[in-house]
A and B are shown apart, each in its own frame.
Chain A
Amino acid sequence: MSELDPRLEPWLAALRKEPLARPEARARLAAALRAEDARAARRILSPPAALAAGIALVALTSAFWLALWRLDTPERGVAAEELTSAQFVLHARDARSVSVVGDFNDWDPRATPLTRTGDGVWSAVVQLRPGTVRYAYLVDGTEWRADPHAVTLHEDFGRPTSVAYIVPQEAP
């Protein structure tokens, strides 16, 4: 049996101390155990093999349809409650047209025009999913401008880009 070098003892005392569990970690574990219970219950209640196979087949083809549909329209299907209103504003007195172009409209310059509200202020309200959104303003179809009130990242493709983080709405 190998002998423990006594010089290690003080260090081992520190190593042997049990760390305190974080409540969040314990909560995640509890949730995982409950999920395990649910999984076990479903196994007990599962229908006989043939019926299960039939259900699986329907599920597969549905998945196929859903996946195909998503290829063309990836952003739809988000629950309405998750969307937040965001207002895009640009001061551009001499502009004839302004649009906001970004991740939320697949960078389509024609998708989200701003309306002139008077005194050179252009604005639009858009429903956005919470999370990051990258965008820029396009003035008169030719001039790209960053949002002066948002974070501007270094120029992508030689044109400015702004990024904003849409905070999820708190539950009322």
Chain B
Amino acid sequence: MIADEELIRRVQAGDAAAFDALVDRYYGACLRFAWRSLGQREDAEDAVQEALVRVYRALRRGRSPRHFRPWLLGIVLNRCRSHVQRARRRRLLFERWWARQDPETLRVQPADGAGADGDLDPKLKTALAALRPKLREAFLLKYVEQLHYEEMAEITGASVSALKMRVKRASDQVLAMLTEDTA
């Protein structure tokens, strides 16, 4: 098996097939993280695609990350955050505009937000969705993607101690929700 560093070297030299090999190796993990973060498969696929195109561009321009996997997940994480921000901004814009219109409105029905993918146990899905985004990110990076706290600090911009606290809070909250009706 060819090491990441070698594949990266080849991509930098213009070998597109080497990037395909990297994608084959890491697409699953990227999709897993994005899907658990965003809750929707389609959105996750979009975020992963955006991330991988950026990664490709960066590598072609000579970027040489020290450790590929955390760096890659950091870019996926940023695309996920950006996706959420865009949706939130649009919704706010619309609600503000709508509020300025005449009050003889037919009711604005806000969308539910509950994803309909049948991938995970619904209790687990709900528990994850109930976490605040930063807690969910930390939880997934630590326990699912199994990064070190130092790596997580580098890609999220938060301190190691802050991240440890988020992971603890997230675990407590998730556990509470998953075990509540078996008590």
Is there a direct interface between A and B, measured as CB atoms under 8 Å apart in the complex?
yes
Known pairs A2-B168, A8-B171; A15 contacts B120 (CB<8 A): yes
Q: Please name the residue on chain B nearest to A20 by beta carbon.
A: B28
Interface hub of A18, A32, A37, A40 (most chain B Cβ within 10 A): A18
Instruction: Please give me the residue from chain B that is nearest to A40 by CB atom.
Output: B60
Question: Is the beta-carbon distance between B28 and A19 smaller than 8 angstroms?
Answer: yes
Q: How many residues of A contact B (CB 8 A)?
A: 26
Is B31 among interface residues, defined by CB-CB distance under 8 A?
A: yes
Tell whether B130 is near chain A: CB-to-CB under 8 Å.
Answer: no
In chain B, positions 28-82 with a C-beta closer than 8 Å to chain A are: 28-29, 31-32, 35-36, 41, 45, 48-49, 52-53, 56-57, 60
Complex interface: chain A residues within 8 A of B144 (CB): 12, 15-16
CB distance from A36 to the nearest CB of B (A): 6
Identify which of B86-94, B95-103, B105-113, B173-181 touches chain A.
Answer: B173-181
Whether the Cβ atoms of B178 and A29 lie closer than 8 Å is no
B143 touches A8 (CB 8 A): yes
Is the contact region of chain B dominated by helix, strand, or loop, or is it mixed?
helix
> Which residues of chain A have C-beta atoms less than 8 A from B48's C-beta?
25, 29
Any B CB within 8 A of the CB of A4: yes
B6 contacts across to A, CB distance below 8 A? none
Interface residues of A (CB under 8 A from B): 1-2, 4-5, 7-8, 11-12, 14-22, 25-26, 28-29, 32-33, 36-37, 40
Q: A8-B175, A29-B23, A36-B57 are in contact. Are A2 and B124 (CB under 8 A)?
A: no
Inter-chain contact A32/B119, CB cutoff 8 Å:
no
Report, nearest first, the 8 A-B pairs whose CB atoms are least far apart. A18-B28, A25-B45, A15-B144, A29-B49, A32-B53, A18-B32, A19-B31, A2-B168
Partner of B174, one of A8, A16, A22, A32: A8
Would A33 and B124 count as touching, CB distance under 8 A?
no
Interface residue B121 (Cβ < 8 Å from any Cβ of A): yes
A2-B164, A22-B45 are contacts. A14–B31 as well, Cβ < 8 Å?
Answer: no
Distance in Å from the Cβ of B31 to the closest Cβ of chain A? 5
How many angstroms between the C-alpha atoms of A26 and B149 in the bound complex? 31
Starting from the known contacts A15-B120, A19-B41, A22-B45, 16 additional A-B residue pairs (CB-CB under 8 Å) come to: A2-B167, A4-B143, A7-B179, A8-B143, A11-B121, A11-B124, A11-B174, A16-B32, A17-B32, A18-B29, A18-B31, A18-B32, A25-B48, A32-B49, A36-B53, A36-B56
Rounded to whole angstroms, the CA-CA distance of A14 and B144 in the bound complex is 10
Contact (Cβ within 8 A) B175 A7? yes
With a CB–CB cut-off of 8 A, which chain B residues contact A16?
A: 32, 144
User: Smallest distance from the beta carbon of A147 to chain B beta carbons, Å?
Assistant: 26
Q: In the assembled complex, which residues on chain B have CB atoms less than 8 Å from the CB atom of A17? A: 32
- Could you say which of A7, A20, A25, A37 contacts B16, with CB atoms under 8 Å apart? A37
CA distance A1 to B144 in the complex (A): 16
Q: How far is the CA of A18 from the CA of B36 in the complex (A)?
A: 11
Closest to A4 in B: B143
Residue of chain B at shortest CB distance from A35? B53
Q: CB distance B121 to A14 under 8 Å? A: yes
User: Which residues of chain B (137-172) have a CB below 8 Å from chain A?
Assistant: 140, 143-144, 149, 164, 167-168, 171
Contact (A5, B56) CB under 8 Å given A19-B28, A25-B45: no
Inter-chain contact A28/B49, CB cutoff 8 Å:
yes
A53 to chain B, nearest CB (A): 25
Give the nearest-CB partner of B35 in chain A: A19
